[in-house]
Structure 1
C-alpha cells in the first residue's frame, strides 16, 4: 500500500517532518510512505487552476497515485498552518483527487495537548464536498511535548508514544487497505 504523507509544516527542522520520517522508517514493512513537502506550492488561485503550475500538478499526481493520505499537521494558533490549507485548496479543485481517498491524521507540537485543535479543524475540512475523505474515528495521534520525546536528532524515542503509535498503526493500516480495495 502506498500512502502520501502531506507535511503541514514548512520548517526545515519541523518535528512533524521528523515524525513522518520516523513513521516511514518504522513501518516500512507495512506500507510505502511518500513524504510530500508543501512549501514550494504557490498560493491557490482560481485564475490559474485549470492550467496549474508544474509543482501543483506533480503534488496532485503524487496524492492521486496514493491509496491513502497521512496528514502530518502542526498546530498554529489553534488550527492548521496556512501552507497546509493552501495545499488542501489545490487538492480540492478541478480533478478533486481526494474524493473518497481515505485519510489518517497525526501531529506533534511542543504544547501539552499536541495538535488537538488543528486535527479537529482538519477533520472538518476533509469532509468538505471537494475532498470527501473518510477517516477512521478514534485513531488520532496527538503528540504533545514532542521536544521531550525525541533525541538530539529529532528521532522519536519515547516508548509510551511509540507504543501508542504502534497500536494506532495496527488499527489504521487494515482499515486503509480495505478502503483501497473498495476504491479500486
Structure 2
C-alpha cells in the first residue's frame, strides 16, 4: 500500500512532521509512506486552476497515485492550519484527487488535548462535496504533551502511545483492505 502523508505545518522542526517521519520508519514493512511538503504550493486561485504550477501538478499527482492519505494536523487557533486548507482547496478542484481516497488523521501538540478541535474541523472538510474522502472511523490519534513523549531524534518514547499507534495502524490496514474489497464488488 502506498500512502502519502500531508503534514499541516511547514515548520522544519514540526512535531507533526517528526510524527510522520516516525511512522514512515516504524511501519515501513506495512506500507510505503511518502511525506509531502506544502511549502511550495501557491495560494489556490480559481483563475489558474486549469493550468496550475508545476508544484501543484506534482503534489496532486502524488496524491492521485497514492492508495491512501495520512493527515497530520497541528492545531492553530483551534482549527486546521491555512496551508493544509490551501492544499485541500487545490485537491478539491478540477480532477478532485481526494474523492473516494481513504484517509486517516493524526495530530500532535504540546497541549494536553492534542489536536482534537483541528481534527474535528478536518473531518468536516474531508466529508464536504468536492473532497469526499472516506475516513477511518473511531481511531483518532491525539498525541498531547508530545514534547514529553518524543525524544530529540523524533522517536516516540511513551510506550502507551506507541502501542496505541500500533493498534491504529493495524486497524487502518484492515479497514483499507475492507474498503478495497467493497470497491471491487461494486
TM normalised by structure 2 equals 0.96
Conserved? CA contact 2:22–2:154, under 8 Å: no
Secondary structure of 1:125's counterpart equals helix
C-alpha separation between the residues in 2 aligned to 1:74 and 1:181?
32
Task: Establish whether residue 94 from structure 1 lines up as the match of residue 94 from structure 2.
Answer: yes
Q: Give 4+ residue runs of structure 1 displaced > 6 Å after superposition.
A: none
Matched residue pairs, number? 184
Conserved? CA contact 1:68–1:180, under 8 Å: no
Conserved? CA contact 1:96–1:130, under 8 Å: yes
Partner deviation per Cα, 1:117-163 (whole Å, 9 max, x = no partner)? 00000000000111101112110100000000011222211111101
TM normalised by structure 1 equals 0.97
Could you say which residue in structure 2 is the equivalent of 1:79? Answer: 79
Could you say which residue in structure 2 is the equivalent of 1:47? Answer: 47
Could you say which residue in structure 1 is the equivalent of 2:165? Answer: 165
Q: CA deviation at 1:174?
A: 1.3
Unaligned 5+ segments in structure 2 are: none
Partner deviation per Cα, 1:49-95 (whole Å, 9 max, x = no partner)? 00000000000000000001000110000001000000000000000
Conserved? CA contact 2:56–2:90, under 8 Å: yes
| CA RMSD in angstroms, aligned pairs only | 1.0
